[in-house]
Amino acid sequence: MPRKTGIVVFAHGSRRNDGNDTLIQFTAKLRLRLGSELIEPAFMELSQPTIPAAIHKLVQQGCNHIFGYALFLVPGAHLQEDIPALFTKTLKEFTDVTWEISPPLLADPRLLDFVTECLKAGK
C-alpha cells in the first residue's frame, strides 16, 4: 500500500480565541501553498480541534502516516512525553498507521537566521 501522509500542525492551545485563530489561519495558508487538503490544525489542550480529533479526521481520509508538525520552540515535556503518548494512544487501534513528530522549532538553524534578520531590521 502506498504511503499517504496527513499532516497535523499543532500548538499548545490558548484560552484566547484570537491566539487559536492564528493557527487555524496559518494552516489554511499551508493547505494552499502545499496544494493538499490533508493538513489539519490541532491543539494539545484548551481549544478545538484536539490532536486526537485531527488525527482521526486524517485517518478517515485514508492517511496511513501522520506527520505531526510541532509549533513548539523547545523539547520540553509536552513535546517529548505528552504528545508522543497522545499520538500512541490515539492510533493504538490503527496498527497500519505510522507517525512521527517534527523536532522543536529552535532545533532548526533557519530560525536563527530569521530572528537575526528581524532584529537587524528592528522588527
Topology (CATH level 3) of domain 5-120: Rossmann fold (3.40.50)
pLDDT of 1 reads 79
DSSP for the chain, written as a single string: ----EEEEEEE---SSHHHHHHHHHHHHHHHHHHT-S-EEEEESSSSSSBHHHHHHHHHHTT-SEEEEEE--SS--HIIIIIHHHHHHHHTTT-TT-EEEEPPPGGGSHHHHHHHHHHHHTT-
What mean pLDDT do residues 27-48 have?
96
Per-residue pLDDT at 20 exceeds 80: yes
> What amino acid positions are annotated as catalytic residues?
12
What mean pLDDT do residues 26-44 have?
97
Tens of pLDDT, residue by residue over 63-116, are: 999 999 999 999 999 999 999 999 999 999 999 999 999 999 999 999 999 999
Per-residue pLDDT at 5 exceeds 70: yes
